[in-house]
Amino acid sequence: MLPPRWVRRTVIAPAVIALTVVVVLTVPVWLLLAAAAAPLMRGRMRLLRVIWLLTVYLVLQTVTLIALFGLWVASGFGYYVRSPRFQLAHYRLVAGMLWALFQEARRTLSVAVVTDGPDPDAHPGRPLVVFCRHAGPGDSFLLAHALMSWYSREPRIVLKDTLQWDPVIDTVLNRLPNRFISPNPGERGTQVEAEIAALATNLDENDAFVLFPEGGNFTPQRRQRMIQRLDASGLHAVARRAEAMLHVLAPRPGGVAAALQAAPDADVLWVAHTGVDHLLSAADVWWALPMDKTITMRWWLVPAAEVPHAPEDQLEWLLSWWERIDAWIADQRRTNPETSPHDV
């Protein structure tokens, strides 16, 4: 259960800052121990890389939390924090943190990122609705970084409410136009769709509404449960199509439809990625270090005029695009076979 906001602000955030101080003061010892233990472990400096990246992440967290406190004070102790000036300051702060984290993660984990497809800003001055596949470690961070640093977009993101355990995510994204929802949105019925529609309303020329239609990271178990849920709901034809898609979860159409109806003038950007999506657990990530991988992000841009409006047409359109994304992933895996992390 997520603790109340006052606990997260007055207990968890200061605890992270205190932990950062302890880690920074002792990190030379940990790095020396990790370097000494490296010859006893398979792989190349796995423990050293993990300790270093965790240290960088904690330092970035602390610096960002201090900056957020400064913005809160400068905004009249939060009174003007949602004014355009301070919203822009928060977006720039997040973009800077994600840029620094991306650069260090790319170097430490030995990961390259390439993009394929049309530039998301091929239609400048147009709002975007972004539907992204959800799989692999850190893909939401990567997508947010790409939209903000590469394409100068201000994302509005729908996230799981459990992410508010992270004090930076909790603080900054609750100040910006975003929505945290339950990991099982079905428990709240149409309320979640109403919140998605509200977030997607009144997008301007540099906004990007972001939704992960699968509702969670891909795992074979989740894929099977989704198919069973579709069958139990009587959606047998959709379940059979979901069975044929081997690399993605069946998308949840309610949130997609709500976003499209709330932003009829927005272009739609479909995003898929592959390269590290076979890493399904912390153990997989550990055995894969250093990854020596290339993450490929594929973009498909659909002008607003080509987006269907009828609900039944939108469902067919969504499933067709998800099948296209699944086929693209399969083709990428045939071209660049993945190595099992336990073979490294």
Exposed/middle/buried for residue 159 (C-beta within 10 Å: 0-12, 13-18, 19+) = middle
Whether the per-residue pLDDT at 143 is higher than 60: the answer is: yes
Residues 102-141: tens digit of each pLDDT:
999 889 888 888 888 766 565 567 899 999 998 766 888 9
Residues 6+ apart with CB under 8 A from 3: 11, 12
Spatial strand order of the sheet with 111-116 comes to 111-116, 293-302, 267-274, 128-132, 207-211, 154-160, 179-181
User: Which residues on adjacent β-strands are paired with residue 160?
Assistant: 181
- Is residue 188 very low, low, confident or very high in pLDDT (cuts 50, 70, 90)? low
Interval 238-256 mean pLDDT: 93
Helix, strand, or coil (residue 303): coil
Element (H or E) spanning 35, and its range?
helix 13-37
Residues 263-287: tens digit of each pLDDT:
999 999 999 998 877 666 677 776 6
Give the pLDDT of residue 324. Answer: 96
Contact 48, 31 (CB under 8 A): yes
Whether the per-residue pLDDT at 162 is higher than 60: the answer is: yes
Whether the per-residue pLDDT at 341 is higher than 70: the answer is: no
Q: Locate tokens 């979901």: which residue?
A: 242
- Cα–Cα distance, 223 to 249 (Å, whole number): 5
Higher-confidence residue of 195 and 283: namely 195
- Cα–Cα distance, 315 to 303 (Å, whole number): 18
Residues 65-111: tens digit of each pLDDT:
999 999 999 999 999 999 999 999 999 999 999 999 999 988 988 88
Measured CA angle at 46 (ends 291, 283), to 5 deg: 70
Interval 22-48 mean pLDDT: 82
- Residue 290: is the preceding peptide bond cis (ω within 30°)? yes
Q: What is the mean pLDDT of the chain?
A: 88
Whether the per-residue pLDDT at 227 is higher than 70: the answer is: yes
Q: Maximum Cα–Cα distance for the chain, whole Å?
A: 63
DSSP-derived secondary structure for 166-185: SHHHHHHHHHSS-EEE-SSG
pTM over 0.75: yes
